[in-house]
Amino acid sequence: MEPSTQTYNHRFEVFSIAFALLFLESIFFKTALYIHNYVNALMVISYALLGLGIGSILSIFFYELKAKSIFLLKLTMFICVILSFVNFVAFPSYIFFSPFLVLPFIAGNSLISYFLQRQNSHTIYFLDLTGATLGVLSSVILIPWLREENCFILILTLLAVSMLFNQSKGIKFVSTILVLFSLGLLVFNIYSDQINFAKITKCDSGINPNKIFCSSQEIDLMFSKSSNVQRIEAYQVKPQFQKGYMDKMETYVAFDGLTNDRISQWSFPDPYDEPRLINRLVENPKLLIIGTAAEGVIKTAKSLGGHLTGLEINNQIINLMQGPMYQFSNKAYDLIDTLHPIDARTFIKSTESKYDFITLLNTHLVRSASHIGSPEYLHTKEAISSYLNLLTEKGTLVFEERIYNEQTRLSVIKLLHTIVHVMKNHGIQNPEKHLLIYRWNCLSCTQRLGSKFFVMIYVKAKPYTLDDWENIKWWNIGIDKDHHEMIELFPAKKVESSFANQIHSVIQNNPINQNQSADLSIITDEKPYPWSVFKNNKDLKHYLLKIGIVCLVILMCLLGFWKVREKQLIDRKFILFSCYFALIGLGYFIIETGLMHFYQIYTGSPTNTFIFILATLLFASGLGSYFSKNYSSKKALYVFLGILILSIYHYFINKNLIPLMGARPLWNCVMIGFTVFPLGFLMGIPFPYGLEGVKKEFSGSPVAFFFALNCVFSTFAVFFSFYFSVNYGFSITFGSGITCYFLSMVLLYFSRLNG
């Protein structure tokens, strides 16, 4: 084979493997989010990075990669993807650094690292990041289109197709068999839907028992689609498992595997059979529903008369209600006068309308505030302030929270503390005159939703009048007591409990923290975590400790490997290079996470942030690597200085300019992409620049060691940045990432790592 043709083939291998690895990482993330929760999904990213590091070490033992060797590596990935799927559905509790979740990345990156050592680091790194960029972008399109299970099969097909480019006839024959097998399985499952997480996932002690695949009642799936926000399933209980009349008349809807809504066949409910909206405060109100969900509160809201505006960010919900459930729901979505498929913060930034009711009924990305999740920007002081600005003089802001345990009780207190704080900032000197809080029990749905009771918080723009209280009294009397139990918590206290006492204390005295173990501080855009109500955050600390121990063990193994394999001393030069790669591994992912958190408000959803921030950084970093092949140490210092300046710019200036430049998510995404690109370009230079320095300063094959070292610290950085953000806020976390690059620049300046 001609050298030029061989080089082209090698570069194709790097590109295709990088594409497959990032596509697979996205599938793993979404799968872990569905079967487990956000924390485990976040950990999956760490597993991938760790696999990349181990793969780089293994590449040292590949003295020459021939066509057969490349085929065997891809075949290993093919088999490991199948085993990882089996791991998720058959042994879902055993995913913590499961070998089947790590092995595909080990096999893939051992190939990439092999070429990274033997060819120009800048060119290979460019191809690596370009392939990774397209892998991210394709996953965002393909996962909603095909769903996670079919994407597992699709990636098998892609790996098999890439094997066809091999010159060996025997390998081509085997690859053809694998392609036909994968394609046939994909087509079969698209039409039969037999391979579906909701149907085949095993439930065990390590899984949330409220997941639909853990249900003791067998279900008939009617709709199962994924999206860039949440996966949606609509189902009915099979007749032999139905427990009452409600099961026959309703379809239940699950979000990421947790039942959280229903669709009924009734047209309009009796206004007195709905305890969430008080129907006597305003005649023919103008309503804004934040999160229309499936049926949610749509029929009740429309029964009050007036104009109904709905916001729903998840397009799969809209597809469900305007498609399969259109007739069954009695055309519920036709009751919405104006529907916006958009997130609330973006809509509120762009609208000038005023509303009599604004509702936020359990609008968490997870099931409730009892579940650890990603940042949520609908309950922060900045968001609540914007809602109050949209209320008419008679307007009311309505929150609903579901109480499952002590954590959700405290989260309600934390939210209430934030509301009272915002009201005082708006000049409301006596918040108690503007508040009504009550709890209600759904006697017919407690078993279905697993909820204990619901808490409603009514915030009125003007103080409640005597007429208002009289109307509320008559509404309460009319509520159907056979189905709902109503208990007023404020201003009256119809039940003596520590929860009711805390509510009164917060409203009347606004204390800081009476519970020494609780964190009831104000929820802000800086720390948008309503569920973070404990100071120690034991669960997060536990995960951080576990991943830290794993990284430490691997680090010790790497040092032993360096000593035995390379037969070189751990001297000053080694320590400097090690610190350099560790710092840029930490810094890159901490800054990346910080950018995602800053801009999630303006991009419309966490997934949009993922697309435009991660894809922009990957592609820009690849270009930075490619065009910096001949940089001197002086130019490298300027690169670090540019990273520091641009990072500070994004934190202090750009995140405040974006809302001034646009309001719609797509336009905001484009603007963010343009502004992040220069930073990503510069952040792509330090890593390959350092690798070229390693090649000059050390004999043997040390590139793989420092690549692995960088991956280990990146592995730790993923969860570290999340933990730090929850406990200390985005500013300190982002500042720590900037500090890492600053220290790297200092190392470069005093040691001249590249001569």
> CATH code at 605?
1.20.1250
Q: List beta partners, residue 676.
A: none
252 vs 129: CA distance, rounded Å: 42
**Does residue 120 sit in the same domain as residue 171?**
yes
Mean pLDDT of 183-191: 95
Give pLDDT tens digits for 544-562: 998 999 999 988 888 887 7
Residues 550 and 671 in one domain: yes
Tell me phi and psi for residue 684, to 5 degrees. -85, -5
Q: Is pLDDT larger for residue 507 or for residue 663?
A: 507
Q: Do 500 and 550 reside in the same domain of the chain?
A: no
Does 433 have pLDDT greater than 60?
yes
Q: How confident is the model at residue 7 (pLDDT cuts 50, 70, 90)?
A: low
Residue 240 located in a structural domain: no
Cβ(379)–Cβ(266) below 8 Å: no
Q: Which alpha helices (H) appear in 479-537, and where do they start and end?
A: 498-509
Could you tell me which residue, 59 or 2, shows the higher pLDDT? 59
Query: Residue 43: CB partners within 8 Å, gap ≥ 6?
Result: 32, 96, 543, 547, 718, 719
Check whether 450 has a pLDDT greater than 60: no
Classify residue 690: in a domain, yes or no. Answer: yes
689 plus 641 within the same structural domain: yes
| 8 Å CB contact between 358 and 507 | no
Which candidate, 431, 438, 440, places its Cα nearest to that of 459?
Answer: 431
The answer to whether 309 and 341 are in contact (CB under 8 A) is no
**Cα 604 from chain centroid (whole Å):** 13
Q: Which residue has the higher pLDDT, 18 or 271?
A: 18
Identify the burial level of 702 via C-beta atoms within 10 angstroms of its C-beta, where 0-12 means exposed, 13-18 middle and 19 or more buried: buried
Instruction: State the pLDDT confidence band at 423, using cuts at 50, 70 and 90.
Output: very high
**pLDDT > 60? residue 447:** no
For 330, counting Cβ atoms within 10 Å of its Cβ (0-12 exposed, 13-18 middle, 19+ buried), the class is middle
- Distance, CA of 113 to CA of 709 (rounded, Å): 13
* Residue 126 counted as domain residue: yes
- Better-scored residue on pLDDT, 478 or 137: 137
- pLDDT at res. 390: 96
Classify residue 444: in a domain, yes or no.
yes
588 domain-assigned: yes
- Sheet with 286-290, strands from edge to edge, namely 338-340, 307-311, 286-290, 355-361, 391-403, 453-460, 435-442, 484-490
**715 falls within a domain:** yes
Given this model, what pLDDT does residue 675 score?
87
What's the average model confidence in pLDDT over 346-360?
A: 90
Cβ 31 vs Cβ 148: under 8 Å: yes
* Residue 566 structure tokens: 């390379």
492 and 353, same domain (yes or no): yes
% residues pLDDT > 90 (the chain): 43
C-alpha separations of 360 from 291, 378, 383 in Å:
7, 8, 11
Q: How big is the CA angle at 419 (ends 414 and 424), to the nearest 5 degrees?
A: 125
Mean pLDDT across 637-643? 91
pLDDT, residue 182, reads 95
Distance, in Å, from the CA atom of 743 to the CA atom of 741, rounded to the nearest integer, reads 5
Chain segment 219-228, per-residue pLDDT in tens? 899 999 998 8
Element (H, E) at 311: strand 307-311
**Given 159, 176, 207, which residue is the final one in a domain?**
207
Mean pLDDT of 79-94: 95
Q: Is 483 found in the same domain as 438? A: yes
Q: Are 402 and 454 in contact (CB under 8 A)?
A: yes
Q: How far apart are CA 42 and CA 47, in angstroms?
A: 9
pLDDT at 741 over 80: yes
Q: Two tokens at 238? A: 């099979």
Dihedral sign for Cα 715, 718, 719, 721, please: positive
Give pLDDT, residue 754: 47
Q: Which of 351, 342, 283 is nearest to 318 (CA)?
A: 342
Claim to verify: residue 153 and residue 291 sit in the same structural domain:
no
Residues 479 and 601 both lie in one domain: no
Cβ neighbours of residue 727 closer than 8 Å, sequence gap 6 or more:
532, 537, 540
- CA nearest neighbour of 711 among 21, 196, 12: 21
Q: Do 439 and 567 have their domain in common? A: no
Q: Which of 456, 485, 509 is the last residue of a domain?
A: 509
Average confidence score pLDDT of the chain: 86
pLDDT band at 453 (very low <50, low <70, confident <90, very high): confident
pLDDT of 481 higher than 80: no
* pLDDT attached to residue 446: 47
pLDDT(563) > 50? yes
Q: How far is CA 618 from CA 34, 104, 589, 612, 735, in A?
A: 26, 20, 12, 10, 21
Across the range 576-590, mean pLDDT stands at: 92
Q: At 54, phi and psi to the nearest 5?
A: -65, -40
**Among the listed residues 151, 129, 19, the one whose alpha carbon sits nearest the alpha carbon of residue 74:** 19
Q: What angle do CA 559, 563, 567 make, to 5 degrees?
A: 150
pLDDT band for position 755 (50/70/90)?
A: very low
Question: Which residue shows structure tokens 């759904």?
Answer: 442
pLDDT the model gives residue 4: 53
Same domain, 576 and 720: yes
The yes-or-no verdict on residue 290 having pLDDT over 90 is: yes
Report pLDDT digits (tens) over 299-348. 989 888 889 999 998 889 999 999 999 999 999 999 999 999 888 888 88
Q: Do 127 and 174 fall into the same domain? A: yes
- With tokens 């002590």, the residue in question is 406
Residue, of 753 and 533, whose pLDDT is higher: 533
CATH number at residue 390: 3.40.50.150
- Its domain, for residue 403, covers 274-509
Q: Residue 643: is its pLDDT beyond 50?
A: yes
In the chain, the amino acid numbered 563 is K
pLDDT digits (tens, 9 = 90+) for 362-393: 888 777 777 788 888 899 999 999 999 999 99
Separation between Cα atoms, residue 180 and residue 157, nearest integer Å: 8
Cα–Cα dist 254/294, whole Å: 10
3-class SS at 351? Answer: coil
- Hey, how many other C-beta atoms are within 10 angstroms of the C-beta on 241? 13
* 269 lies in some domain: no
With cut-offs at 50, 70 and 90, classify the pLDDT of residue 443.
low
Residue 499 lies in a domain: yes
Give per-residue pLDDT as tens, 99-131.
999 999 999 988 888 888 777 778 888 888 889
Q: Which two tokens stand for residue 507?
A: 């409203």
Please tell me the pTM assigned to this model: 0.91
Task: Give the number of domains in the chain.
Answer: 3
Top-ranked range on mean pLDDT: pick from 231-240, 319-328, 373-382, 610-619: 319-328
pLDDT band at 427 (very low <50, low <70, confident <90, very high): very high
Query: Same domain for 423 and 563?
Result: no
Instruction: State residue 362's pLDDT score.
Output: 85
Measured in degrees and rounded to the nearest 5, phi and psi for residue 531 equal -80, -15
pLDDT band at 693 (very low <50, low <70, confident <90, very high): confident
**Mean pLDDT of the region 577-585:** 92
Does the bond joining 491 to the residue before it have cis omega, within 30 degrees of 0? yes
Total number of residues shown for the chain = 755
